[in-house]
Chain A
Amino acid sequence: MDIQPYLLLSAITFVIGVVGVLARRNAIIVFMSIELMLNSVNLSLVAFSAFLGDVTGQMLVFFVMTVAAAEAAVGLAIIIALFRNKQTVNIDDINILKW
């Protein structure tokens, strides 16, 4: 099995995620970029797992998925709480504390 294309795709999506976090200003989109990073890692893990013929990587993917779900729940709750107080989810408007 040739693993290179999978790793390349995973690296590209990871970088897209990183750029999204650094460049986008909407908290929800930043959060979605982070999810993209996590999923690109999942792709790597599954590819490595198939390549090595070892299930540890796939098992780790299950944990990443559940943790990402928990993170999504908490993150959305935080964003909603912020929105209720400030009526915005734009990171640039969050300026009481310096970013």
Chain B
Amino acid sequence: MIVIRLEDLLYSAPLLVLTSSGLLALIAEAAGRDKPVISYYTSLIGVITSLILTFLNLGAGVPVFNNMILQGGYAAYCNLIFLSSALLSIVLSRSYLERMQYHRGEFYVLIVFATAGMMLMAAALDLTIVFLGIELMSICLYVLAGFMRKKELANEAALKYFLLGAFATGFLLYGIALIYGTSGTTNLVVISRSFAQLSGNSLFLIGCGMLIVAFSFKIAAVPFHMWAPDVYEGAPTTVTAFMSTGAKAAAFATFVAVFVRVFDIPGTALSSVLALIAAASMIVGNVTAIAQNNVKRMLAYSSIAHTGYMLSGIAAGNAEGEQGILFYLVAYTFMNIGAFGIVSWVEQQEDRKLKFDDYAGFSARQPAVAVLMSVFMFSLAGIPPFAGFFGKYYVFLAAVKADMTWLAIIGVMTSLVSVYYYLRLVVLMYFCEGESDVAAKVPLAAISAVTLAAVLVILLGIYPSLLVDMTKGFFKI
């Protein structure tokens, strides 16, 4: 006899509302042909309602549906990241897709379902849900990456993303199977109770290793990062914005949920593996980003570097690291989505105007947009007083406290390298002559979305404690 309690439904209201709005948007898209605007508004209303419900749900985390998922607390905090990423991407996508002549209602449906998958990932208390959440998100993203289906670059990006993503899924599942076989359950809380004795079992450790491989694929950490630059370049720019923020945040949220909240990794061999992956990501991401000429590709490599910064928080595995990652994810989401949003305004059909040089003299024609872009670039480079600085500060501080000073040193050194390529764009915009301009008049909704992101980046840079205090109680189950 299974029982569904009313409170299960109430606590998971954000998830249910979001999914229903996706289904409604799908029906609307099917019923009224060639009116993507209906689907746009339906999904927008769904995301906003879900965002409001999540705010009401921010208190303590409650396990619901027979301990399958956790709602509120940690999950609600992560949901805020995913939902804001979805909201900004949806708003930015409309004008972008109209300009690229790919405006279809299915786009918004896919974004909404992908967001639902992310919310499941962060909420998972069971490896089954981890798997289902990752797949729900990834399958939607495979389609979104190839959404411009007449474009060869998009086809290739989608194929590459799909093949490597499915490959990673194989590892994820094998890891889950081994963990299930050695512990006798898929419930994370139950596994965590016997983690101490299980960690002596080599099959269990292989399972954990396979999970690390799969998650590293999803967060694009070196050496499993090869897909990221190509997919980020080939996908529609607003989808890239969504993938590099929401999807990455979701993968990190699960990573943290499984390896920090549940498995007690600090001090084990797994934590030094994570530290090595983090160091490699920072070095490879930042050094390769210097050589890029395409802004989308540069941001892709920069996102690999940011993966490395955030991973050092997980590797440190102490309270500062955990809170640092959660803060970093928020900061990164807003600064990156803002930067990609502006890139999508400048971009023209057939992938034109994506080069660094296409930003020369940008401030002369678009002074306001140039200021916004500079805010995002300074924040990505980690220059105070923007939010990106405090994100890095927290994770590096955590690394030092965990006796991983070498990791913090690599982090600071590579951050200095990154200043070069972020500020190159700012210098081009302000101190070079050029004809660059936005491709078409940007609608008010898109401008307000990016402005909101910039305001949050500044606000969180000045008052980082607003968020950090909130995350304190999230790591006890």
Q: Is B205 an interface residue (CB 8 A)?
A: no
A14, A71, A86, A98: the one within 8 Å of B135 (CB): A71
Chain A nearest CB from B268 CB (Å) reads 24
Contact between A44 and B184, CB atoms less than 8 A apart: no
B132-168 to A contact mask, C-beta < 8 Å, 1/0? 1001000100110010011111011111101100110
- Given A48-B177, A97-B230, are A60 and B135 also a contact pair (CB < 8 Å)? no
Measured in the bound complex, the distance between the Cα atoms of B110 and A77 in whole Å is 15
Measured in the bound complex, the distance between the Cα atoms of B229 and A97 in whole Å is 9
- Hey, which chain A residues are within 8 Å of B166, CB to CB? 31, 34, 71, 75
Q: Is B48 an interface residue (CB 8 A)?
A: no
B156, B174, B184: the one within 8 Å of A52 (CB): B184
- Hey, which chain B residues are within 8 Å of A14, CB to CB? 170, 174
Q: Which of B150, B160, B226 has the most CB of A within 10 A?
A: B160
- Hey, which chain B residues are within 8 Å of A57, CB to CB? 177, 180-181
- Hey, which chain B residues are within 8 Å of A79, CB to CB? 159
Measured in the bound complex, the distance between the Cα atoms of B171 and A37 in whole Å is 8
Contact between B173 and A54, CB atoms less than 8 A apart: no
Measured in the bound complex, the distance between the Cα atoms of B234 and A30 in whole Å is 21
- Given A85-B155, A96-B156, A97-B160, are A71 and B139 also a contact pair (CB < 8 Å)? yes
- Hey, which chain B residues are within 8 Å of A34, CB to CB? 163, 166-167, 169-170
Contact between B149 and A81, CB atoms less than 8 A apart: yes
A45, A70, A71: the one within 8 Å of B180 (CB): A45
- Hey, which chain A residues are within 8 Å of B143, CB to CB? 74, 77-78
Q: Which of A34, A71, A94, A97 has the most CB of B within 10 A?
A: A97
Chain B nearest CB from A50 CB (Å) reads 11
A13-26 to B contact mask, C-beta < 8 Å, 1/0? 01001100100000
- Hey, which chain A residues are within 8 Å of B174, CB to CB? 14, 37, 40-41, 44
A47, A71, A78: the one within 8 Å of B146 (CB): A78
A58-99 to B contact mask, C-beta < 8 Å, 1/0? 011001100100110011011101100110000000101111
B51-93 to A contact mask, C-beta < 8 Å, 1/0? 0000000000000000000000000000000000000000000
Chain B nearest CB from A57 CB (Å) reads 6
Contact between B131 and A60, CB atoms less than 8 A apart: yes
- Given A44-B174, A67-B135, are A82 and B156 also a contact pair (CB < 8 Å)? yes
- Given A21-B167, A63-B128, A67-B131, are A98 and B230 also a contact pair (CB < 8 Å)? yes
Q: Is B186 an interface residue (CB 8 A)?
A: yes
Measured in the bound complex, the distance between the Cα atoms of B158 and A56 in whole Å is 33
- Hey, which chain A residues are within 8 Å of B162, CB to CB? 71, 74-75, 78
Question: Measuring CB to CB, which residues of chain B are less than 8 angstroms from any residue of chain A?
Answer: 128, 131-132, 135, 139, 142-143, 146, 149-153, 155-160, 162-163, 166-167, 169-170, 173-174, 176-178, 180-181, 184-186, 226, 230, 233-234
Closest 6 CB pairs of A and B: A37-B170, A48-B181, A97-B230, A82-B155, A41-B173, A44-B177
Given contacts A41-B177, A67-B135, 6 further A-B contacts (CB under 8 A): A41-B174, A45-B177, A60-B131, A78-B162, A79-B159, A96-B156
